[in-house]
Structure 1
Amino acid sequence: MLGRHSRMKNGIFASLFATPGARHEEEITRQRALELLELVELGHLADRPAGSLPYGLQRRAELARALATEPQLLLLDEPAAGLNPQETAELGQLLLRIGKYGVSILMVEHHMDLVMSSSDHVIVLDYGLKIAECKPADVQANPRVVEAYLGVDEAEAA
Structure 2
Amino acid sequence: MALWQCDLRVSWRSQLFSLAVHGILILLILLAPWPPDDWMIWLILLIIVVSQSIRSQRRISARQGEISLLAQDRLLWRKQEWKIKQPVWMIDSGILLSLRRERTGHGWRQALRGKKHKLWLASDSMSQQEWRHLRQILLTGKRDAAPANNNHHPL
TM-score by length of 1: 0.30
TM-score by length of 2: 0.30
> Greater RCO between the two (CA within 8 Å, min separation 6)?
2
Q: Which has the higher strand share?
A: 2
Q: Please tell me whether Structure 1 or Structure 2 has the larger radius of gyration of its CA atoms.
A: 1
